[in-house]
Amino acid sequence: MAVVVVIVTRSPGWEAFKAYFLDGQIYRNSFPEILNAFWLNVKLFCVAEMFILPAALFVAVLRSLPGPVFFPLRALAIVYADLFRGIPTILVISILGFGMPALGLSWMPSSQFFWAVVALVLVYTAYVSEVYRSGIESVHPSQEAAARSLGLSRGQSLRFVILPQAVRRVIPPLLNDFIGLQKDTALVGTLGVVEAFKQAQIDQSATFNGTPYLVAATLFVLITIPLARFTDWLIARDRKRHQAGRLA
């Protein structure tokens, strides 16, 4: 970091860079507006997450169903996960946000916020379902066999034995996805929704200065870094628990 700071501050364009991105007065003036818009990012994140967690678990359970009779459901879940993990998030947001209201159906919502949430839910459900699936597959088959020997059905074994263990194991990677989701809420600005990044663009256009982008970056960092450290703490705690279990 020291080397980077020295190189940057001694570069020929440093003064122009500092004037464009590090104007203290513009930072203070634009901070309240961008902070107010940032709450929309937080709202998007919270609303989307409420739908992502159960929907992703449902998709993961479909992929874990055994037997040829459930092959169509497994195939549908695989196609869904592969499709929405393969399309860039910004394209899904643009297609739904601009395309669905353009259909002109009276019963279909036209709110950009609504379609932004739908796009984020579709994309991140695909990602989070893979996290859940890895947790389900990490539970040893003997756990289900023991549950079935006690008289539990396949569904009861999944609900009371497998899923509780699987969900507990995937909490750290789930938090990593939460961090990614929080950052990707900035993409909904392409629909015209005035969130933090969009407000920074508006302020940049008004001042012809890039400091508002630094304000938006600061707000995202204030959210993501605590989440990242909390994730590290959970991973370290889980590692210590496993080590203690092996020693016992």
In a domain, 188, yes or no: yes
Q: Global pTM?
A: 0.87
- 37-63 average pLDDT score: 93
Ramachandran region of residue 47, left (φ > 0), alpha (ψ -120 to 50) or beta?
Answer: alpha
Calculate the average pLDDT of the chain. Answer: 88
What is the pLDDT at residue 108?
83
d(CA 121, CA 13): 42
Sign for the CA dihedral angle at 120, 122, 127, 133 comes to positive
CATH number at residue 239: 1.10.3720.10
CB-CB contact of 162 with 141 (8 Å): no
What does the pLDDT look like over 148-180, one tens digit per residue?
888 888 788 888 888 888 888 888 788 888 888
In a domain, 62, yes or no: yes
Total tally of structural domains belonging to the chain: 1
By residue range, what is the domain housing residue 139? 21-247
In a domain, 3, yes or no: no
Q: Using the structure block, give the residue that is written with the tokens 């169903």.
A: 65
What is the pLDDT at residue 138?
86
The three-point CA angle 227-230-231 to 5° equals 85
d(CA 104, CA 100): 8
Helix H, strand E, coil C: the string for the chain is CHHHHHHHHCCCCHHHHHHHHCCHHHHHHHHHHHHHHHHHHHHHHHHHHHHHHHHHHHHHHHHHCCCHHHHHHHHHHHHHHHHHHHCCHHHHHHHHHHHHHHCCCCCCCCCHHHHHHHHHHHHHHHHHHHHHHHHHHHCCHHHHHHHHHCCCCHHHHHHHHHHHHHHHHCHHHHHHHHHHHHHHHHHHHHHCCCCHHHHHHHHHHHHCCCHHHHHHHHHHHHHHHHHHHHHHHHHHHHHHHHHHHHHC
- 103-116 average pLDDT score: 86
Query: Which of 19-33, 99-113, 199-213 bottoms out in mean pLDDT, i.e. has the lowest?
Result: 99-113
What is the pLDDT at residue 50?
93
Compute and round to an integer the Cα radius of gyration of the chain.
Answer: 23
In a domain, 135, yes or no: yes
Give residues with Cβ within 8 angstroms of 214, minimum separation 6.
21, 22, 27
In a domain, 61, yes or no: yes
In a domain, 16, yes or no: no
- Checking if the pLDDT of 235 tops 80, the result is no
CB-CB contact of 199 with 37 (8 Å): yes
